[in-house]
A and B are shown apart, each in its own frame.
Chain A
Amino acid sequence: MTTAAALTWQRRRESAARFWKQYRRHRAGLLGLAALALFVVIALTAPLTVGSDVASVTEAPGRPMESPSAEFPLGTDRFGRDLLGLLVWGSRVSLLVGLLAAVLSVLIGGLVGITAGHFRGPYATVVMRVTDWFLVMPTLVLAIALATVMSRSLGTIVLAIGVTIWPTTARLVRAQTLAVESRPYIERAKALGGGHWHIMSRHVLPNVMPLILAQTTLMISTSILSEATLAFLGLGDPTVVSWGGMLQEAREAGAVSSGDWWYLVPPGIAIAVVALAFTLCGRAVESVLNPRLGVGR
């Protein structure tokens, strides 16, 4: 038994190595991965480098609206807080919300897609019409409506983003499920007495997994952008610091008209870079797992 387990691990290591070898050939993917690693390290080490005190309004170290200096490399905000510290601290919320919302949306989308592809008939029709309805609804409007009616917290934001961006995943997964379900081994699985759950979990899921993985990485960047948008519109949790929230505060403080660029530019660039990094990784993963796409290396 132990040798079997060891062999399994050896196989997994080999396939991971193969994946990495192919992934390495995508230069843009590597760049995205490096940027991501950097942001993740910054976010994880934030409690050590800046600490949660950085968000405190009462114990702000500087005067309001200071321009960049040696003491505050990115200047200070309207309460005199260190903007570099806020930027580092805010990365935690942006990445966390992005990840959770993407995972939530892919879970919903995957579940809906696989069941709609597996059970044809009235169930699939109803579920896919609901999906279409979500697809044509302006995502942002729906998310705003949800974030408004629910209590203000990070969970609300995750939920509002997660339940609005799943339809594309559902459509993709359903299409792939239909393709897999027409394969003869599904007929064999039925002939050997497999039920719906058995067929969906043992045969369909492993075959649509690559698609779901690639879709997740792409969804993360969408979620991060949505989170920033919602926070910018003042629908985020006011007690936590996030990049979108920083932009909103900058707007409220009149940074745009007074030309306080250090207040606006860094969070904007950070959002763009993280979203870009996830997209680059997602595209590289997609092209490794699906060589037929022929995405440029």
Chain B
Amino acid sequence: MTLLEVQDLHVTYPGGAAAVRGVDLTLAAGQKLGIAGESGCGKSTLALALLRLLPAGTRIDGSVLLDGEDVLTMRWGRVRAVRWAGASIVFQGAMHSLNAVHRIGDQIAEPILLHGGTTAAAARRRTGELLEHVGLPAARARAYPHELSGGQRQRVTIAMALACDPLLVVADEPTTALDVMIQAQILRLIEGLVAEQDLGLIMISHDLAVLADTCDRLAVMYAGRVVEEGPAREVHENARHPYAEALSSAFPRIGDPSSRFAPRGLAGDPPDPSDLPSGCAFHPRCEVALAECASEDQVLREAEPERRAACVHVTDMRSHT
């Protein structure tokens, strides 16, 4: 069953910056989709657009079908009802997404009470369950955010995301600013919860290795577009788009000595979203760019079954058959 279907999504900020330029995504219940890309490529904007959380004055075109309903054309009251109950977000930086003056238990109960249907006592019981679920003792509900460690706080935000039994959870860099051990714990926790409750998960990160490890499918974004999409492991190990390849080879592979002697990075900076290069947005940084890349826009094409990439070097499978 298709849980989320994003069609031709465009987001333009009031300053004229085109942060997302025509993104199509689909996600089924129980599926885990990773979105990768460097800072400023539009990953977080995409996540916020799913729940219409962008600042006023931002232009959003296209459609976001969440469980068959278009979020972008919903009435305002319905949007508020869908927020958290339909789709919830694990924000980056758990440190700051918790309010320092409220106990964590009250903050987890906040969406439960806000969306109604229960008493304060029931909400408190549910909060205890949620905390135990993410591996914290229920008694910690009485703690204030500053009394918890970074990893515990991230667990709290995950418990909070699950509070209203959402269909979809969007995790925006859930493991940034955590050390590697805690990072692994948190990733296992999210994986376990998604499998157990049959949720859809969108995980956003710049760390391709983490996404390849956790997700089923992977979409690599560049300058507001998906430039490559496919099964996570294949995209990570055998990228077809030069940008995706540069991103995945930026992480040294353990057990592969040759990667140590061939340091590969990507020169240059991501393009300014209000002043994008002509043609393929990646061509000024691309090592294999052809003359036509500067003038012709490259769209996603089918490279192999289940795999798409937007590069001139990828020949469309369908056009040859």
Contact = CB atoms under 8 A, between A and B. Distances in A.
A193 B88 CA distance: 10
A203 interface: yes
Contacts of A296: none
Chain A interface helix/strand/loop/mixed: helix
Contact of B99 (A7, A185, A190, A195): A185
A188 interface: yes
B51 interface: yes
A183 B81 contact: no
A64 interface: no
Interface stretch (B109-117, B211-219, B271-279): B109-117
Contacts of B114: 192-194, 198
B83 A193 contact: yes
B84 A184 contact: no
Nearest to A7: B142
Contact of B81 (A121, A191, A193): A193
Nearest to A180: B99
Given A184-B91, A185-B99, A203-B99, A191 B51 contact: yes
Contacts of A198: 114
Nearest to B102: A206
Given A193-B85, A193-B114, A203-B99, A187 B91 contact: yes
B96 interface: yes
A207 interface: yes
A203 B107 CA distance: 10
Interface string B94-105: 001111011000
Contacts of B160: 188, 192
A259 to B, nearest CB: 58
Size band of the A side of the interface? 20 to 34
Contacts of A184: 91, 93, 96-97
A190 B97 CA distance: 11
Given A183-B96, A195-B80, A198-B114, A188 B91 contact: yes
B17 interface: no
A190 B53 contact: yes
B112 to A, nearest CB: 10
Given A1-B121, A7-B142, A187-B91, A193 B96 contact: no
A184 B176 CA distance: 15
A184 B97 CA distance: 5
B46 interface: no
B88 A191 contact: yes
Interface in B127-186: 142, 157, 160, 163-164
Interface in A155-186: 183-185
A202 interface: yes
A150 B164 CA distance: 54
A147 B54 CA distance: 48
> Which among A185, A189, A195, A202 has the highest number of chain B CB atoms within 10 Å?
A185
Nearest to A202: B110
Contacts of A187: 53, 91, 97
A207 B101 contact: yes
A191 B99 contact: no
Given A185-B98, A188-B98, 12 more contacts: A184-B93, A185-B97, A188-B89, A188-B160, A189-B110, A190-B53, A192-B88, A193-B81, A193-B83, A202-B110, A203-B99, A207-B101
Q: Which 10 A-B pairs have the closest CB atoms?
A: A193-B83, A192-B84, A192-B111, A184-B96, A185-B99, A184-B97, A193-B80, A206-B101, A188-B97, A191-B89
